[in-house]
Amino acid sequence: MTMPRRQLVDVAVTRYYHCISRCVRRAFLCGEGVTHRKAWIEARLELLAKHFAVSVCGFAILDNHLHVLCRLDPGIADGWSDEDVVRRWIAVYRPSCLDVDNPATVQAWIDPASGSLRRSQNSRAQAA
């Protein structure tokens, strides 16, 4: 049964987590002919650590799985405004039509009446 992250992760207990991701169906993440994937994974970890309140303490990329030791930094994220959160999110998970550096684009993702983030799918559905 799935559980929300707020029940699984408790920074009061520990801020350090060992995360493992394995390939399915005996596939290989890295190996002969696909060594470029290690560099891609390392670059992706750097990007995630740069934009989110997580520090990568160490990692190991093996042929069929990945280990990441990370530290959560919730105090950093507590100081972020809604606009900061939106900018960080769309910098990592960039929709192809958005210009992250344009303030009007970021503002379109923030509801000025309530100050909270809009649900993009709901706003798109209402606009249609």
Please indicate, yes or no, if residue 21 is contained in any of the structural domains: yes
Same domain? For 42 and 94 the reply is no
Choose the final residue of a domain: 75, 90, 107: 75
Which range of residues forms the domain containing residue 87?
A: 80-127
Please indicate, yes or no, if residue 1 is contained in any of the structural domains: no
Q: 70 with 55: CB under 8 angstroms?
A: yes
Same domain? For 50 and 28 the reply is yes
Please indicate, yes or no, if residue 13 is contained in any of the structural domains: yes
Same domain? For 58 and 15 the reply is yes
**Which structure tokens are listed for 30?**
């890295």
Helix (H) or strand (E) holding 24: none
| 9 C-beta neighbours (distance < 10 Å), count | 14
Q: What total number of domains does the chain contain?
A: 2
b or e along 99-123 (b: 16 or more beta carbons within 10 Å of the residue's beta carbon)?
Answer: eeeeeebbeebbeeeeeeebeeeee
DSSP state of 81: -
pLDDT digits (tens, 9 = 90+) for 19-34: 999 988 878 888 777 7
pLDDT digits (tens, 9 = 90+) for 72-117: 999 999 999 988 988 898 888 877 666 667 777 667 766 555 444 4
The pTM (predicted TM-score) of the whole model is: 0.70
